[in-house]
Copies of this chain bind each other. A is one copy, B any other.
Amino acid sequence: MERMGHEKYFLGIDGGGSKCRAIVVSNNNEILGEGVSGPANPVNGLDITIASIVESARLALENAHLDNVQLSDLIVGAGIAGVNLPMLYKQLTDWEHPFKVFYLTTDILIACLGAHNGDDGAVMITGTGSCGFSYVDNKTMVVGAHGFPQGDKCSGSWFGLKAVQYALLELDGIIDSSVMSSKIREQINISSAVELVEATSGQTAGFYAQFAGIVFNAANNNNEFALKLVNEGADYINKMAKLLMNNNPPRISMLGGLSPLLIPWLAADVQDMLSPPLSPPEIGAIFFAQQQDSIAC
């Protein structure tokens, strides 16, 4: 690829609790290369987050065969989990980064920009965690994004924790046994309450999220507890949608690994208002970098 004097290289980064994904694009937003590295949520450590960001950028440049481009040439838009907390935002903006420019925002904002191709809109994200977000006329609104275990209602970790709590009560004989609890025990190969406590003690949101699918399966098979849980979660997302629609976003999308399971349980009017996401978060990070760059120039 020929390098022109005034060419700008935009790199988009989507950093989350399990991985960090970077893409580098051409002037006309064609993806030239991508790189995936390790965890990048500063809640779990600033150093590893910084290392993952740099590693993903290097891998993206390598993948694009942009041998003449250095990290210091890149205009970076980074959406990083956890930086909705002011303390963590400050830690990362204080970082002496190796890039030309480093525009930092939340993973949620870039997901929203991606879903609506850089235009105004709203998203509801249900994966390991959960949150709602709208971006309309440069004003943002956040619902949730509270973290595990104190928040993230209707997320994978929320369903999983509730299911494990239920399985423990069952193993103690407090409540009747159910297929759902035996599926949980099968999945992590345990047979007693003590083993389940050992397996779950001190575990993170990601561990609990692995059980969310079991809850939805059980709900689809009319398990009473699972039905109650899925309906409670769906009710929360219905209310989240209504709060977000108060800002009149032109579009609203659902994102995250749990969304395909959850959408059929939402109220009909909420399902009707959903539009499919147009682009992934890392493209949203590119839009973010370009918007910030045009303001700066």
Contacts and interface: CB of A to CB of B under 8 A. Distances in A.
Contacts of A87: 198
A149 B196 CA distance: 13
A47 interface: no
Nearest to A203: B150
A240 interface: yes
Interface in A172-200: 172-174, 193-194, 196-198, 200
A81 to B, nearest CB: 13
Interface in A202-218: 202-203
Contact of A144 (B86, B144, B172, B200): B172
Interface string A146-164: 1101110100000001001
A143 B161 contact: no
Contacts of A173: 143, 243
A85 B201 CA distance: 10
A274 B225 CA distance: 32
Contacts of A43: 201-202
Interface residues of A, number: 35
A20 B149 CA distance: 28
Given A84-B194, A150-B197, 17 more contacts: A43-B201, A85-B201, A86-B194, A86-B198, A143-B173, A146-B193, A146-B197, A147-B200, A149-B149, A149-B161, A150-B168, A150-B203, A151-B168, A151-B197, A169-B236, A174-B239, A174-B240
Interface of A: 43, 84-87, 143-147, 149-151, 153, 161, 164-165, 168-169, 172-174, 193-194, 196-198, 200-203, 236, 239-240, 243
30 contacts: A43-B201, A43-B202, A85-B197, A85-B198, A85-B201, A86-B194, A86-B198, A143-B172, A143-B174, A146-B168, A146-B196, A146-B197, A147-B197, A147-B200, A147-B201, A149-B161, A150-B164, A150-B165, A150-B168, A150-B197, A150-B200, A150-B203, A151-B165, A151-B197, A153-B165, A169-B236, A174-B236, A174-B239, A174-B240, A174-B243
